[in-house]
Amino acid sequence: MTETIKTDVLIVGAGPCGLFAVFELGLLDVKAHLVDILDKVGGQCAELYPEKPIYDIPGVPMITGHGLTEALMEQIKPFNPTFHLNEMIETVEKIGDPEFRVTTNAGTVFECKVLVVAAGGGSFQPKRPPVPGVEAYEGKSVHYAVRKMEDFRGKDILIVGGGDSALDWTLNLNPIAKSMTLVHRRDDFRGAPHSVEQMRQLVASGKLDLKIGQITELQGDNGQLSGATVKLNDNTVSQIKCDTMLPFFGLTMKLGPVANWGLHLENNLIPVDTGTFETNVPGIFAIGDINTYPGKLKLILSGFHEGALMAQKAVKYVYPDKRVVFQYTTSSTNLQKKLGVN
Ligand SMILES: Cc1cc2nc3c(=O)[nH]c(=O)nc-3n(C[C@H](O)[C@H](O)[C@H](O)COP(=O)(O)OP(=O)(O)OC[C@H]3O[C@@H](n4cnc5c(N)ncnc54)[C@H](O)[C@@H]3O)c2cc1C
């Protein structure tokens, strides 16, 4: 049987708001574990716009999505949070007042006094390409992510898309592929200019076949792809030999299991009390993009504020008998000790 992990607080989602919540809880001596479906921390900042600049983080004139994630990780280091990546929180069961038993799809079991839902827009899911019958090949020869590059060695690979993911995987997998074709609906790529240039060099050197058009049909048996038909933009049809297809059509966000945890929902968002960011279930809080209240703005700075107020109420569940005194990090030697700066 799996051992149960006991923690003061379990945070669902390691996006910017989940990460900053660790800091606010840590200042009050509250320990946190975080779980995220993704293989990395940073939520939307890391997954959707790592290289894009953000201009509205207070006191930071410009920082990229990746830069903000790195800075938050540095800021919460003194509190030593434990991360469980590549896992999705599936079930939440109330076992005390408050106390929760929470399980992930990987079978990890947590028991916590407080649950903080910082799940953003929910789980990221790849968009399916508009190709009839593609479902039949998914997981076997059609993949929406590259988890292990070695799995693609010696394959006849068809990559579909024109953004950064399509280009990055074209460049990274090209040296180990047996053959490679890139299909995009127009001869104009949204990816980084440097990647576009490198991709064109592969075409010029005969290592990559570039086709401008749309996949109309897949051929194969029992989930194993053997070929694809492309309708080219000059209205001719081309046949591609491939045993693997990697479509990169972007990601959508789906609420996922959060809907089954007994929380009130309004348009797939969790209503909260704006003094504490607690939900309708005492001990379960919701911060960041996942919550709703009058005037809510889906901004990172709103989620930071929400995390600070959440921590003030959460600490009362973790240490019911402790008197919490409000302190500034500038002047409190006690807080500075916790931060390791004094
Ligand atoms: C292109 C773009 C540009 C943006 N620019 C700005 C900007 O300039 N300024 C600004 O303030 N905001 C900006 N935003 C919005 C900002 O990114 C969001 O407000 C912020 O990411 C919300 O943070 P979060 O922590 O609430 O959620 P998210 O960043 O969405 O993170 C939530 C995390 O929860 C995880 N998760 C969900 N469900 C589960 C589950 N069941 N189990 C485990 N993990 C789960 C997800 O995998 C995800 O990693 C931008 C957004 C986009 C898409």
* For the CA of 35, the nearest atom of ligand 1: 43
Q: Which residues line ligand 1 (CB under 6 A)?
A: 12-18, 35-38, 43-45, 48-49, 54, 56, 88-89, 118-124, 256-258, 288-289, 298-301, 303
Distance (angstroms) between ligand 1 centre and the Cα of 51 equals: 15
Whole-number Å distance between alpha carbons of 38 and 87: 7
Give the annotated binding-site residues for FAD: 17, 36, 44, 49, 89, 124, 289, 330
Confirm if 60 and 4 have CB atoms less than 8 A apart.
no
Q: Taking the CB of residue 120, how many other CB atoms lie within 10 A of it?
A: 24
Cβ neighbors of 103 (< 8 A, separation 6 or more) are 89, 90, 91, 109, 110
Residue 38's nearest CA partner among 256, 192, 310 is 256
Mutate to test the pocket of ligand 1, among 12, 44, 299 (most ligand atoms within 8 A of CB): 44
Amino acid, res. 181: T
Give the annotated binding-site residues: 17, 36, 44, 49, 89, 124, 289, 330
Whole-number Å distance between alpha carbons of 272 and 264: 9
User: Which CATH architecture fits 5-124+252-339?
Assistant: 3-Layer(bba) Sandwich (3.50)
| Ranges under pLDDT 50 in the chain | none
Tell me the Cα Rg of the chain. Answer: 23
The predicted structure's pLDDT at residue 158: 98
Distance (angstroms) between ligand 1 centre and the Cα of 18 equals: 9
The predicted structure's pLDDT at residue 145: 81
Which residue ranges make up each domain of the chain? Answer: 5-124+252-339, 128-249
154: left (phi over 0), alpha (psi -120 to 50) or beta: left
Give the position of tokens 């003030």.
312
Distance (angstroms) between ligand 1 centre and the Cα of 69 equals: 11
Distance (angstroms) between ligand 1 centre and the Cα of 290 equals: 9
The predicted structure's pLDDT at residue 86: 87
Mutate to test the pocket of ligand 1, among 17, 255, 285, 300 (most ligand atoms within 8 A of CB): 300
* For the CA of 56, the nearest atom of ligand 1: 9
* For the CA of 44, the nearest atom of ligand 1: 29
Q: Helix or strand or coil: residue 60?
A: strand
The predicted structure's pLDDT at residue 35: 97
The predicted structure's pLDDT at residue 123: 84
Distance (angstroms) between ligand 1 centre and the Cα of 171 equals: 28
CATH topology identical between 5-124+252-339 and 128-249: yes
Q: How far is CA 230 from the centre of its chain?
A: 32
The predicted structure's pLDDT at residue 1: 58
Superfamily of domain covering 128-249: FAD/NAD(P)-binding domain (3.50.50.60)
